Amino acid sequence: MTKRKWFFTIVVVFLVAWNVLVQAQQDQVTITTYFPSPNGVFSYMRTSRGAASLSASFTGGDGNLVWGSSGTMGRLSSDQGSSIELGKTSAAAPYIRLRKGAVNSIIQLADDNTLYIYVWNNLSLYDFAQTTWEDLHVQRIYYHWGWMNGTIEKANLQYL
């Protein structure tokens, strides 16, 4: 084989090998995944059901969202159109806090038997237009302030 042929042969082999290597490098694909995905930002997002927690199990079917830590019963429920469940499976005093700047009112389950409503001054039962007082139906009223400290019975309701 002449030197020219050898040179020609080496050049051809080199070009082919180089071309193969370049193409192989260009086709290299690296896909890195993260679990959980650290961040997601959407303009619109729809899900059949959701959980705002890494530990809470999905509860309910389509249209339900659970949130909170392990043992939570917090759920945006699709029952009755849309309802809310609050609390957890043990030792909980779940609440709804209504804030108006520094002013806030709280509705809180104190224990098995008692629901507290915290207000700064008074709780008013209004009609929808907030023009007239609405009625209160209860079993008994306990009056815990002022000159009369005890149960208000039917006989002394006029002192209200």
Smallest distance, another protein to C-beta of residue 129, A: 14
The yes or no reply on residue 32 touching another protein (CB under 8 A) is no
Element (H, E) at 141: strand 141-145
Nearest of 156, 126, 122 to residue 142 by alpha carbon: 156
Task: Looking at residues 35 to 94 of the shown chain, list those that interact with another protein (rule: CB under 8 A).
Answer: 35-50, 54, 62-65, 73, 76-78, 80-94
Instruction: Say if CB 77 and CB 83 are below 8 A apart.
Output: yes
56 C-beta neighbours (distance < 10 Å), count:
19
Strand bridging mode 65-67 / 50-52: parallel
| Tokens matching residue 94 | 């779940």
Measured from the Cβ of residue 66, the count of other Cβ atoms closer than 10 Å reads: 21
Figure out which of the listed residues 18, 115, 156, 159 binds another protein, where binding follows CB under 8 A. 115
Give the number of residues in contact with another protein, rule: CB under 8 A: 96
Query: From the CB of 151, what's the least distance to another protein, in Å?
Result: 10
> Which residues from 6-25 bind another protein, rule CB under 8 A?
9, 12-13, 16-17, 19-20, 23-24
Query: In whole angstroms, how close is the CB of 118 to another protein at the nearest point?
Result: 4
Give the nearest distance from C-beta 154 to another protein in angstroms. Answer: 6
Out of 33, 57, 145, 150, the residue judged to bind another protein by CB under 8 A: 145
Who's near 123: CB < 8 A, 6+ residues apart? 117
**Closer Cβ to another protein, 35 or 147, answer by number:** 35
